């Protein structure tokens, strides 16, 4: 079995706004068509939630609820081909924890994607403790993904270094902070993954912890 564990989909109304080369790749239909052509059997689908970068918490929570409802819909429709993760903001507070629980317990999603940072907040901040508590309670895997804009990228745009340096560096910074802060020792999440990204860049270190085989 060939599994693509790093695939992204947006709700249709948001996918239409993202275009590359005249097409919209972030739709479930386009993704599954590409996988069929490539001979991929199953995939883990997540939402990078990059469109939340300038949103308020209330706005972000509404967008996450919309994603969770749509994620449950496509997972039911294509249950023999996809496994879907929810997404959240670890430092968002109690409403985000409650919505994460709804996504897993009520909607049947299988894991959660977080960005390595969001609006200068990092997962090792004290505000993220309730997030790790619910993750451990639910025993779900966590996928960490680079944000749309990371710390210091205002100095990288001139040379288009954001993708090759800025975003992978933000992932490294986030993981390093979590290690030094003792997050993994105090909150041993079931599986923590570092996103590989869509492109390979010189000097970029890529690593991941295997997802639980029970997902497949």
The CATH number covering residue 35 comes to 3.20.20.140
More confident residue, 201 or 78: 78
Contact assessment for residue 117 and residue 149, using Cβ atoms and an 8 Å cutoff: no
Taking 90 as the threshold, does the pLDDT of residue 22 lie above it?
no
pLDDT for residue 213: 54
Helix (H, G, I), strand (E, B) or coil at 8: strand
Range of the domain at 189: 3-215
Largest distance between two CA atoms of the chain: 47
The predicted structure's pLDDT at residue 185 = 82
Q: Quick one: pLDDT band at residue 122, thresholds 50, 70, 90?
A: very high
Percent of the chain having pLDDT more than 90? 66
Q: Is pLDDT above 70 for 190?
A: no
pLDDT for position 63: 97
- Computed over every residue of the chain, the mean pLDDT equals 86
Q: What average pLDDT does range 130-155 have in this prediction?
A: 90
Q: What is the pTM of this model?
A: 0.86
Phi (first) and psi of residue 181, to 5 degrees: -75, -15
Residue 110 in this model has a pLDDT that exceeds 90: yes
Phi (first) and psi of residue 182, to 5 degrees:
85, 20
Sheet of strand 142-145, all strands in order from the earlier edge strand to the far edge: 86-87, 112-115, 142-145, 192-194
For residue 215, is pLDDT > 90? no
Domains in the chain: how many in total? 1
- The whole-number average pLDDT for the span 136-144 is 94
Alpha carbon distance 102, 106 (integer Å): 5
Most confident of 21-30, 157-166, 174-183, 195-204: 174-183
């Amino acid at each position: 079995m060939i599994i693509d564990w790093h695939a992204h989909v947006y709700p249709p109304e948001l996918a239409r706004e993202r275009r590359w080369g005249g097409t919209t790749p972030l739709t479930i239909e386009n993704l599954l068509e590409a996988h069929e052509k490539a001979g991929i059997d199953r995939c883990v689908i997540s939402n990078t939630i990059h469109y939340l970068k300038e949103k308020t918490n209330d706005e972000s929570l509404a967008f996450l609820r919309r994603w969770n409802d749509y994620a449950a819909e496509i997972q039911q429709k294509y249950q023999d081909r996809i496994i879907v993760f929810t997404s959240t903001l670890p430092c968002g507070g109690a409403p985000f924890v409650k919505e994460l629980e709804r996504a897993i317990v009520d909607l049947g999603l299988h894991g959660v994607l977080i960005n390595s940072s969001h609006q200068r907040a990092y997962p090792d901040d004290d505000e993220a403790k309730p997030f790790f508590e619910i993750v451990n309670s639910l025993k779900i895997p966590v996928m960490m993904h680079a944000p749309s804009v990371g710390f210091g990228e205002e100095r990288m745009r001139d040379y288009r270094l954001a993708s090759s340096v800025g975003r992978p560096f933000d992932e490294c910074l986030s993981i390093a902070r979590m290690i030094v802060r003792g997050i993994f020792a105090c909150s041993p999440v079931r599986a923590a993954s570092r996103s590989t990204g869509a492109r390979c860049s010189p000097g970029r270190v890529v690593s991941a912890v295997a997802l639980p085989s029970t997902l497949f």
